[in-house]
Amino acid sequence: MPQMSEQPPARRSRSLILCVLAVLIAMVSATTPAAAAEGRPYTNPVKSQKGADPWLEYYNGNYYLVTTSFTGVLTMRKSPTLAGLSTAASVQIWSDTTSTRNTNIWAPEIHFLNGHWYLYYSAAQSGVACCDSQRTHVLESAGTDPMGPYTYKNQLSGSNLTPGGWLIDATVLQNNNNLYLIGSGFINGSPQSLVIAPMSNPYTLAGSTFTIISSPTASWETSGAAVNEGPEPLYHDGRTFLTFSASYCQTADYKLGQLELTGTDPLNPASWTKKSTPVFQRNDAASVYGPGHNGFFTSPDGTENWIVYHANDTANGGCGNGRTTRAQKFTWNADGTPNFGTPVALGTTLPGPSGETATTPTAYTLVNRNSGKCLDVEGGNTLDGTNIFQWSCNGGANQKWRLEDLGNDTSRLVNVATGKVADTANCATTDGTDIAQWSWLNNNCQKFRLVYTATGDYVRIVNENSGKVADVANCGTLNGTDVRLWTWLNNNCQQWRLVPTT
């Protein structure tokens, strides 16, 4: 029987090296996580109506976006992808009739603390000229749904804030298990500055006085007016940063500055170190002007840091509703400080946050809570006056609706199959008035408020002209049961679930 020949020493050595390399490669593959997939492509702006002072959270599979309203109403958008926010429904989550705080809502933001969402915002007194009556207020969610429902908890102000307690753009700083409220105000004749006070809980200050931690002194902080506002904490590798907006929002030079907590006591101004130059500012080559009042969020997989902010696309865009919400990824410098880069031009398509897996929705089905059936244009007929009723959900385009924000806290309901909108017959306001489709006429009879009603994405569809809601006639459950206007009765027949679709 022939014997197997032994390998020469050189060949044995090469074989051993190859085996070792194979083992090392296998070990690296087993211990190094695969790079996260890029998110769904998105294009700025992510909100083109009422896009100022944005706050964005990713929570439990969805992004939640809330912005300044300039009214006594707050709306929120929800989407499983960043791209989907641009067409997501604007749902009213709060309105206020209390005259001391029911107008000019600015800079809302939500924070999850002690098992609830707390919504902080500034608002003004009805009938009083802007803006000395601006005060900070806080709402509390009933549970863990960022959309609420919310109840009013408190006004947050200080005895040494002038004029009369003026405080805007409040945020919450967390440090060593303590809470602090940081906002923008005036103390003893100061320019508009960043001020801080301790909190005893998320809706109560632990005292009545504030301390200034940053005032506008550099030339880049005083363009148009000397302003420090819009503070936002950013935590990374054990360090605490605080971005803020500097100069006047009416100018193209509105921009972001940065503080770092380099001491141990956030209430001590000496504990904060200001960067000598701005960290995010206008990009004329990309037609981005006045980028500011930002927030931060993390990608769904937790590996990326993102900034959300507002900006104008013209140099004279000013402080109004022309500002749009934009977002982009940022990185970190070798010294551990954030690098926000340069604001990108509108219309630039970018990869979304890593870890997104959902399809970007573009429309909704509206499912009645009582019957489980869908809002439907009869037969997909394109004629004006075609009836809108309920029908078993079948995925047809005549059961899909684009809920298009009109920029005044209302939306129009556009049927995907027909391109026509939900309309109240003859602009009547009586109970029982029919809801049918019609060509867009831009009147209040065709405008609706989507008002958050209950956890599970249920809303009532409130007609702007009549104040009445979309109701399934007599709470019927059969296919073809009519949908009409009716006085709000708070029953399941008047509640509709928003189900994202494509």
- Is the preceding omega at residue 45 within 30 degrees of 0, hence cis? yes
Question: In which element (H, E) is residue 75 found?
Answer: strand 73-79
Q: By C-alpha distance, which of 272, 204, 209 is closest to 196?
A: 209
Question: In which element (H, E) is residue 20 found?
Answer: helix 9-31
Q: How far is CA 368 from CA 309, 449, 464, 502, in A?
A: 36, 17, 20, 19
Question: Angle CA(60)–CA(63)–CA(66) in degrees, nearest 5?
Answer: 125
Q: How far is CA 442 from CA 88, 244, 255, 418, 447, in A?
A: 20, 39, 37, 17, 8
Per DSSP, the three-state class of 147 is: coil
Catalytic residue among 229, 356, 409, 423: 229
> What CA–CA distance (Å, rounded) separates 311 from 376?
39
148 half-sphere exposure, CB direction, 13 A CA radius = 24
> What CA–CA distance (Å, rounded) separates 463 from 138?
28
Per DSSP, the three-state class of 426 is: helix
Task: Decide: 86 and 108 in contact? Cβ < 8 Å.
Answer: no
Name residue 349's beta-bridge partners: 43
Question: In which element (H, E) is residue 26 found?
Answer: helix 9-31
Return the residue matching tokens 């690296």.
28
Residues 6+ away with beta carbon under 8 Å from 25: none
Q: How far is CA 157 from CA 164, 198, 345, 380, in A?
A: 9, 12, 38, 55
Catalytic residue among 53, 356, 423, 464: 53
What is the DSSP-derived secondary structure letter of residue 280? B
Residues 6+ away with beta carbon under 8 Å from 215: 190, 191, 193, 194, 226, 228
356 is catalytic: no
Task: Decide: 306 and 329 in contact? Cβ < 8 Å.
Answer: yes
431 is catalytic: no
Q: How far is CA 190 from CA 68, 147, 161, in A?
A: 26, 37, 10
The 10 Å Cβ neighbour count of residue 300 is: 23
Cα 389 versus chain centre, distance: 33
User: Reduced to 3 DSSP states, what percent helix, strand and coil does the chain have, rounded to the nearest 5?
Assistant: 10, 45, 45
Which residues are identified as catalytic? 53, 229
